[in-house]
Amino acid sequence: MNQTCRHCGSTLTRQFLDLGYAPPSNAYLTADALFAPELTYPLRLMVCDSCLLVQTQDYADAGNLFDADYAYFSSTSKSWLAHAARYCDDMTDRLGLNKDSFVVEVAANDGYLLRNFVAAGIPCLGIEPTASTAAAAEALDVPVLRKFFGEALAEELATSGSAADLIIGNNVYAHVPDINDFTRGLARMLKPEGVVTLEFPHLMRLVEFCQFDTVYHEHYSYLSLGTVARIFAAAGLRVFDVQELPTHGGSLRVFGCLKESDHKETGSVGDLLAEENRRGMETPEFYEAFQPRAERVKNNFLAFLLEAKRDGKSVAGYGAAAKGNTLLNFAGVKPDLLPFVCDAAAAKQGKFMPGSHIPILPPSALQDRRPDYLIILPWNIADEVRKQNNDLAARGTKFVTFVPETRILEGSA
């Protein structure tokens, strides 16, 4: 398959990672669906030799990935709710937001963030195409427009008087198939001195900590600051500040504005660009040695499960997260090795993990079964999961994570 880069149009020839075949990571199955064929797609990443954007090969359509039954609800994680609340306080102070301001969040999900602006009396709008999460946001009095965001929608909103002082995009920039159209939309919808902030996992940390399980079809792009700066520039935007965050194993919060705005560039931009360059991220060769590292994590994961079964140890999983589905399907794990996974999201309970068909149970099931090992699949919230399950630790359960390496955690968090 010959694919051109979704940013610069160059032909892609250099492979970054091949995880085989997998279904969409959030396509959880009902019991009836277990008896029907399940659609899988190649899960393969390429890197553009020209602009260095790492990206999936295109097989899955966004409309099929983000449908009415989309099951990811941001409010499930208490730590993420706290992260969002801190952000809203910080941006309100930094930008002087008030009742005369207008805030837009693209991919507003279940209202996890905008509800803070609603409570503060700051006018806002969520743009969210998935009906399940949009309905949850509306139940919190968050105004929601149920559409996909792009340049055409931004033009429509801006010309109707809805230009924004602040546009927020948390963990959405990697999810858009046409990243140029999306970025032009951000530029079109900003007021002259408006600010856009985007949060996304940092490709530098993905490579450093072998976070291959953050790769799935819903993530079309894998982003460095250097690549984002180039994409911004092509759309009439510029990066004027950047913050490194611990979320999702290491993320960036990029601050952007129109090229001609008065926002001054901070030293953190040049510092991080220099760090990426020092690590070799501006050369195609940087991306060639990742595959064997991912395979080593997969092999260690399988060896652990096989040894636990041989020794008669009981194993359960926690967190029916997308990253867990990537790891399970890459490793070919089925219920014989991991009998069930618990998750706090009611929308996932009673369903089955895509591909692996492992049943998803409520966390209360752990009290009855008391596994010897609890594998925390969303390793980025491992401390939160351990705190929620301190009683299991007191009874001897050991917590395990596998990325970037196998870690067996004993005792309370």
Give residue 212's domain range.
Answer: 148-287
Inter-residue contact 145 to 126 (CB < 8 Å): yes
* Nearest-angstrom CA–CA distance, 87 and 363: 29
Residues 331 and 362 in one domain: yes
Residues 205 and 307 in one domain: no
158 token code pair: 């801006």
pTM of the model: 0.89
Residues 281 and 343 in one domain: no
Residues 271 and 302 in one domain: no
Inter-residue contact 101 to 125 (CB < 8 Å): no
How confident is the model at residue 288, as a pLDDT?
Answer: 87
* Nearest-angstrom CA–CA distance, 169 and 105: 6
How confident is the model at residue 67, as a pLDDT?
Answer: 47
Out of 257, 287, 317, a domain closes at: 287
Q: Give me the number of domains the chain comprises.
A: 2
How confident is the model at residue 248, as a pLDDT?
Answer: 83
User: Which of 343, 401, 407, 413 shows the shortest CA–CA distance to 213?
Assistant: 401
* Nearest-angstrom CA–CA distance, 194 and 170: 17
Domain CATH code at residue 318: 3.40.50.720
Residues 222 and 308 in one domain: no
Q: Which distant-in-sequence residues (6+ apart) come within 8 Å of 50 by Cβ?
A: 5, 8, 10
402 occurs within a structural domain: yes
Residues 244 and 325 in one domain: no
User: Which of 250, 222, 267 shows the shortest CA–CA distance to 403?
Assistant: 250
Out of 264, 287, 310, a domain closes at: 287
Per DSSP, what are the bridge partners of residue 199? 170, 253
192 occurs within a structural domain: yes
* Nearest-angstrom CA–CA distance, 401 and 379: 6
Provide block-wise average pLDDT over 10 residues at a time, the chain (413 residues).
Answer: 87 96 93 95 95 85 51 70 95 98 96 96 96 93 96 97 97 94 98 98 96 94 98 98 93 98 98 98 91 97 98 97 95 98 94 98 94 96 91 93 92 63
How confident is the model at residue 47, as a pLDDT?
Answer: 96
DSSP string across 269-337: HHHHHHHHHHTTTTSGGGGSS-HHHHHHHHHHHHHHHHHHHHTT--EEEE---HHHHHHHHHHT--TTT
How confident is the model at residue 69, as a pLDDT?
Answer: 52
Residues 341 and 223 in one domain: no
Domain CATH code at residue 263: 3.40.50.150
- Burial-class residue 16 by CB neighbours within 10 Å (0-12, 13-18, 19+): buried
* Nearest-angstrom CA–CA distance, 81 and 219: 22
- Burial-class residue 141 by CB neighbours within 10 Å (0-12, 13-18, 19+): exposed
Residues 281 and 315 in one domain: no
